[in-house]
Amino acid sequence: MTLTAPSSGSPGRIERVDELQARIRGMQATRLDSRAVPTHPALAAVLPGGALREGAVVRVEGSVTLLMAALAGPSQSGRWVAVAGIPEFGVEAAARFGIHLDRLVLVPDPGPQWLTVAAALADVIPVVAVRPAGRLAPAEASRFAARLRQRGTLLLVDGEWPGSDARLELERSDWNGLERGHGHLAEREVVVRVTGRGEIGRGERRRLRLPARDLGFTAVGDAASDAVVHHPDFGERAAG
């Protein structure tokens, strides 16, 4: 489902939001009665507590594929997910990585209304990914965070966000499969660093296959002593 940015101040917005909330909840395949959001096992191996959390703001930086991995678990559990302001988010790649397209809402270019669009999505969709199109003031971020906690919405941010709860960052990337000028890219091994508040703040690093040869995501292990070649630009183009 692809949407255009809504016009601000349209009449009946509150009624439409309530109606959409009821429709989305009615179409969920599972109950949303837990603070833990179903998380792909590869990312569960990275995160303290093994899960993403409802009402949290998590920055996912350096890789659209890493963002897709964060969306795959909630989508496979039956939750709707939305992506705003990330035009290179490819539906074919998303489907390969396990995101259900019939429960995916895309707003490729929300323009200067990106925050309004993100807020409208967060009112009705349980997991929202957004790339900010401008600087967000700490007061705005705080109000938005309160809204997320009230709705129980997980926000994944590709970019800067004041006061985020956690940050997943792609530090290193190495594609395998090409040998002496022949073959094809088979899998990518990356190092993901997670930082944040409280127990998350230790700055843990983990190696993931993102994607593995079967186009899935798998955890490899601790990255503390691994030497991985960094090819972020090439890796992201190949990931789509």
Residue range 169-189: mean pLDDT, rounded? 61
Compute the chain's Rg from CA coordinates.
Answer: 18
Of 146, 136, 86, 142, the C-alpha closest to 115 is: 136
To the nearest 10°, report the CA torsion of 145, 41, 191, 81: -40
121 vs 190, more confident: 121
pLDDT tens digit string along 104-138?
A: 999 999 999 999 999 999 999 999 999 999 999 99
* DSSP bridge partners of 83: 106, 129
Identify the pLDDT of residue 206: 77
Its pTM stands at 0.73
User: What does the domain layout of the chain look like in residue ranges?
Assistant: 13-157, 172-239
Identify the pLDDT of residue 237: 34
pLDDT tens digit string along 48-75?
A: 778 899 999 999 988 898 899 999 999 9
Predicted confidence band of residue 205 (pLDDT cuts 50, 70, 90)? confident
- Looking at domain 13-157, does it have CATH number 3.40.50.300? yes
Sign of the dihedral through C-alpha 20, 23, 27, 32: positive
